[in-house]
Structure 1
């Protein structure tokens, strides 16, 4: 079977779908993955075929408009206006890719939900997916964008409101795309978040996160599977650590890892100085990952602090004393799978949700957003994280996550559903 996976965003949005693609390819299917610029090597290295789209999320995240969108509502409005033309081009590219590839099955992430409609037009099955809870109504949690629990009835109402608003927004894009690409009068729109089969059956909405972090409510059924996070299988020859990093790790006690991925701070130098000061005050060693510019790559640091651009998390995290990060779903699951304490400093989107989940599990003291982080708050958070109760609880949760096989489970579920 020919399968096309569509996912958009940064590496945290792409890598789990590479893991799913590998699981499907291992079952004999030909898998292509459509995403933005910068991921061809990752995709080809997994034995999948890349379908490149023109959007470059790394460039977008570095624009003043997107940086402002992380901090203010007015910034979000300006960023949305800037993205209007980009989104129109992206929708046309998705349509062209689906027509060109002619897959037997589409698998899409939330940013690619236009493909649900495209699949209906082309008459092929489509399975939807998400890396975060929030697309299926439940009473025990509010939608992840809301910070306050509204109670069972309020949470359900909030989920319904978010669904209606999201579908209304998505269908504006669908209408614009349909006007350019379909015959006049075509009644085509996104009706919900589940996928569909051409014979009319609804198909599962795959939820790629751990039930140990967010357990599914009892009323969910086969159409709302929580599979576990989609980690890549451990290769026979794991990616090695850079020699300088390996030497640093070997030279002393386990360091604290600090990295904020693709999140663009207002002042990378100030954030780096803050982190170094906190580590020095605690008498700890640290590895700072500059990533896409969240920390200063060329910062002058004391000998007990090493600055790197990036490193394979599965190799590095188990050798760290604690993990300080932005709270993306992938880094959250990877740090917990390593059995190490985590301190999440969220910047936006789903990140505050994951931070609140750790607080509710007693794994973190409180939520301090990245924009409000100070040396004193980071020191206080790390003192709790490095204490024996949190270290023991994190190790226990890590054991549970390592027993999950999310990508394998998702592959089996979706293949059975379309049979």
Structure 2
């Protein structure tokens, strides 16, 4: 197995790896992360090996510059191109080398859909390949489009144009590797790289994602790939229980992997959250890794913490303010809580639109122009709609009856049992 990205791109693969291992399979998971080296220190055990490949850890100032450049771009395709150029391309060759090692030792390889080096290596080696999507806005359908649902005719035209732009942005990457290995070029990034013709897992809860009838037959909605809290997620700080007991359920505020590490930028984020909480008149828990160095002090209204496991803390909060990453979005929804989303990239805006469609979030804010007043207004809007909390609780209860890992393992064994 191979994945790339932030914590939200790694955690589901760890969950699936654990599920496959529990089902009796030997599993190797190769991880390339953009925000931490913690996974390289996770202990392997017999039958479940975890490795790191080409981790592009950057100095705080450089990472902040890249982050700011990406979320300041308004055009989604230019934004995606910048993300690939600045964060993926520097480790692409390392990921290919790791993928070739996986293919040499495996009967089946499973990869994050964006990790085309694994798909290319599998094609070269003749090894079966399964793909995993962590969000559902990237597979074309006449029934929906990330910009909205406008009816089949308009959606079809939008996807025609979107495919052209996707191919222009993404196909040069797998095609460089394909040329290098003497393979024919990919003509369409979705059909020839992202979607496996054997099995493509859509790792999104059916409460959020409905399988579209015109998706390829290999695409299956397995559900959220969830797992118990893991060591790198930490534990609840000792001060947290006392804060929770001292008043009404607070609003939890985090930007997850998009929280800036650079001190000045992190101070600005803390100032944004703190002022928004004051203006909204709510109690708040504000998560930032280096808050102690940012000149802020907790009081009876705001508690600052470095980290907390989302599955433990979200159920005890009233609303979750977050960046709209796939993992955080589904964790908040699983906890039965409404969201306020501050999107940095187009995929996060899509998650915001989906939660709004479900009636468990207001309109997403954008990081490039969000203000404390706008954030406070959105928090008050969500807190002031009891029906939103009721709806979120119902969806969360339904999600907790699902088992995405078990469903995914079953689909894998059914399709590749004889591989």
TM-score tier, shorter chain, comes to 0.7 to 0.9
Equivalents in 2 of 1:218, 1:191: separation in Å? 20
The answer on 1:93 being equivalent to 2:97 is yes
Matches within 5 A, 1:257-296: 257-264=252-259, 267-291=265-289
Give the structure 1 partner of residue 209 of structure 2.
214
Equivalents in 1 of 2:48, 2:400: separation in Å? 25
| Equivalent position to 2:131, from 116, 121, 128 | 128
Equivalents in 2 of 1:398, 1:239: separation in Å? 23
Q: SS of the counterpart of 1:70? A: helix
Residues 204-251 of structure 1 show CA distances to partners (whole Å, capped at 9, x for unaligned) of: 21101122112222444752211111111579xx97422122332233
1:358 CA drift (Å)? 1.8
Preserved CA contact (<8 Å) 1:276 1:305: yes
Give the structure 1 partner of residue 219 of structure 2.
224
Q: SS of the counterpart of 2:380? A: helix
Closer, same or farther: CA 350–46 of 1 in aligned 2, 3 Å: farther
Closer, same or farther: CA 298–204 of 1 in aligned 2, 3 Å: farther
Preserved CA contact (<8 Å) 1:138 1:217: yes
Closer, same or farther: CA 247–40 of 1 in aligned 2, 3 Å: farther
Matches within 5 A, 1:244-255: 244-255=239-250
Preserved CA contact (<8 Å) 1:7 1:109: yes
Give the structure 1 partner of residue 151 of structure 2.
151
Give the structure 2 partner of residue 69 of structure 1.
70
The answer on 1:396 being equivalent to 2:394 is yes
Q: SS of the counterpart of 1:115? A: helix
**In angstroms, what is the RMSD of aligned CA positions?**
3.2
Give the structure 2 partner of residue 115 of structure 1.
118
| Equivalent position to 1:343, from 319, 340, 345 | 340
1:168 CA drift (Å)? 5.5
Equivalents in 2 of 1:12, 1:330: separation in Å? 5
Closer, same or farther: CA 176–16 of 1 in aligned 2, 3 Å: same
In structure 1, stretches of 5+ residues that fail to align are none
Residues 290-324 of structure 1 show CA distances to partners (whole Å, capped at 9, x for unaligned) of: 14x79975523443211111111111101111111
Closer, same or farther: CA 18–81 of 1 in aligned 2, 3 Å: closer
1:26 CA drift (Å)? 0.8
Equivalents in 2 of 1:218, 1:148: separation in Å? 18
The answer on 1:38 being equivalent to 2:69 is no
Preserved CA contact (<8 Å) 2:319 2:338: yes
1:257 CA drift (Å)? 0.4
1:418 CA drift (Å)? 1.4
Give the structure 1 partner of residue 108 of structure 2.
105
Residues 82-124 of structure 1 show CA distances to partners (whole Å, capped at 9, x for unaligned) of: 558614433443344335x511110011221221121121121
Equivalents in 2 of 1:136, 1:119: separation in Å? 21
Residues 162-199 of structure 1 show CA distances to partners (whole Å, capped at 9, x for unaligned) of: 3454355544223432444x3xx543547664699xxx
Equivalents in 2 of 1:85, 1:112: separation in Å? 11
Larger displacement relative to structure 2 (395-404 or 272-281)? 272-281
Preserved CA contact (<8 Å) 1:272 1:296: no
Q: SS of the counterpart of 2:343? A: coil
Closer, same or farther: CA 360–408 of 1 in aligned 2, 3 Å: same
Q: SS of the counterpart of 1:8? A: strand
Closer, same or farther: CA 46–254 of 1 in aligned 2, 3 Å: farther
Closer, same or farther: CA 45–277 of 1 in aligned 2, 3 Å: farther
Task: Give the TM-score of the pair, scaled to structure 1.
Answer: 0.84
1:346 CA drift (Å)? 0.8
1:332 CA drift (Å)? 0.7
1:150 CA drift (Å)? 4.0
Task: Give the TM-score of the pair, scaled to structure 2.
Answer: 0.84
Q: SS of the counterpart of 2:340? A: strand
